[in-house]
Amino acid sequence: MTTRSVIPGLAKGMWITLKTLFKRVPTVQYPLEKEIPVPRARGVIALDVEACTVCMLCARECPDWCIYIEGHKEEQPPSKPGGRPRTRATLDRFDIDYALCMYCGICVEVCPFDALFWSPEFEYSEYGISEMLHDKERLTDWLATVPDPPSLES
Amino acid sequence: MIVVFGIGFWAGLALKIGIMAAIVPVVALPIIFAELKLSAHMQHRIGPYFAGGKFGWAQPLADGLKFFQKEDLVPDSADKVVYKIAPYLVLAAALAVFVVIPFGPDLIGRDLDLGIFFALAISSVSTIGILIAGWSSGNKYSLIGGLRAAAQLIAYELPLFLAVVGVVIQAETMSMIGIIDAQQTYEVFGLFAIPYIIPQFVGFVIFFIAALAELSRTPFDMPIAESELVMGYLTEYSGFRFAVFFIGEYIGIFTMSAIMATLWMGGYDPLFFDLASLSDVAANVIGPLVLFGKVAILVFLMIWMRWTFPRFREDQLQDLAWKWLIPIGLMNIAVTAIFKVVL
């Protein structure tokens, strides 16, 4: 025990705890006050039904196979009289099972028609695992929470 | 102090008991709260937050009430009677010190001639309480904790007493009031009155370290080293008996700080200001406040050290006491005595 090295060490330790004592505590009391996540946080995936063409790319690329898509084709009247009737793909079912989802964001990346978006909302925990399956309507509701895209760089 | 009111002996006794019963929460709860809050902020946490609405001020109260609800368990292998008595012995020893702590010029239980001697002697009784708690629990961890406590408390009682001897020599009295008066009139080279913390600084440091060890607070908490011995001698205690131990510990912090404040920092005497120039009532109101202020500084220092320093090893603990504190304490006595004679 060399006294020469002990005293400065003790003083240094005391100084650190004293400094910490007067620092602002970064704790957020979560249920009372809500932390605002960063805009690009991967909270939940929102769906724009109008933009979806039922191409199934997201469901196929999903590593967890947590996206379930069903659709059918509807006959549209020809745009000109005497023309060929058009078909249009309509979405019947679009479910994301958040119990399986690993928030990789590949579906959002891969969507060719910008129908999927990240939203920073995170408060959708449930009591049952089956309730983690969000259907088309629920996913559309999340669309309102999607932040505006960042401005383009000039 | 209480005799002043001119009431009968029994009424006076009841009043004294009432005041003592009130002192326990008044003294212990704020220290416990300060410990919770300061430790939290030193570790970048908020600490108690919800109890009582603002700042969690009711947390120690809520903790205390929780202890009342718990079952009072006595292990099968325990020595029942001794096991049950032990916490009260510790608390009684801690409370008995209040008799000689001067809160104001007239606010003192009894100004014994042997004041400081009585305080240190009676606070040593808590060692017995801790030892029998460890022995009677019928638990190996309790036993190791109790034995560690015995070794530690006996080792550190020596520097504790040696540090006080310096003050006693300088003040030429053991009475607590006498020591405060001596500090009011003590003048170095006829310049000004200074508390003994300046001339007896070595003694103060020794006493402070030894007091930390006596109270088994971290750097010296081997007896209840929770990472090695579960909770040491407290392992088997639950409910109210644990709460009594807990309160005894914090009362001990207060009494030790009060002794330090009295012996080295002038006690109830506000420095650089003459208390005698005030009326009797004013002096007895300001006195306790001044003492509490000084105690608060010391308690803060103790809490600060607790949450900064890691625990000593058992051999380092004995090293510090026998190789450093006791020789330095003896030298301090010799130097003080020589200066007393020469000056």
- Using 50, 70 and 90 to split pLDDT, how confident is the model at A110? very high
Shortest Cα distance, chain B CAs vs residue A7, angstroms? 12
CB-based contact, A29 to chain B, within 8 Å: yes
Is B42–A26 a contact, with Cβ atoms under 8 angstroms apart?
no
Q: In sequence order, what are the beta bridge partners of B123?
A: none
pLDDT bucket at B6, cuts 50 / 70 / 90? low
Residue B153 to residue B129: CA distance in whole angstroms: 12
For residue A131, pLDDT over 80 is answered with yes
Q: Average pLDDT for residues B292-315, to the nearest whole number?
A: 88
Q: Which two tokens stand for residue B82?
A: 């001794």
> What does the pLDDT read at residue B27?
84
Residue B170 confidence class, pLDDT cut points 50, 70, 90 = confident
State whether residue A129 sits within 8 Å of chain B by CB. Answer: no
CA distance B126 to B109: 20
In 3D space, the residue among A47, A95, A106, A99 whose CA is nearest the CA of residue A71 turns out to be: A95
pLDDT at B2: 43
User: Dihedral (C-alpha) B309, B313, B316, B321: value to the nearest 10 degrees?
Assistant: 80
Helical (H) or strand (E) element with B163: helix B140-171
Measured CB to CB, residues of chain B less than 8 Å from chain A are: 38, 41-46, 49, 304-305, 307-309, 316, 319
% pLDDT > 70, chain B: 94
- What percent of chain A is predicted at pLDDT more than 90? 19
Does the beta-carbon distance from B44 to A20 stay under 8 Å?
yes
The token pair that represents B245 in the structure block: 């131990």
Q: What is the mean pLDDT of chain B?
A: 83
How high is the pLDDT of residue A63? 92
**Confidence check: pLDDT of B1 > 60:** no
Q: What is the pLDDT of residues B33-50, one digit of tens each?
A: 888 888 888 888 888 888
Say what the pLDDT of residue B108 is: 75
Residue with tokens 């718990």: B70
pLDDT digits (tens, 9 = 90+) for B250-299: 888 898 898 998 888 887 877 766 666 777 777 778 888 888 888 999 99
Instruction: Identify the pLDDT of residue B193.
Output: 65
Kindly determine whether residue B41 and residue A14, on different chains, have CB atoms separated by under 8 Å. no
How far apart are the C-alpha atoms of B103 and B278, rounded to whole Å?
Answer: 16
Provide the pLDDT for residue B13. 78
A74 phi and psi angles, rounded to 5 deg: -115, 140
Q: B41–A21: do the CB atoms touch at under 8 Å?
A: yes
As a whole number of angstroms, the distance between CA B34 and CA B302 comes to 11
Note the ipTM here: 0.73
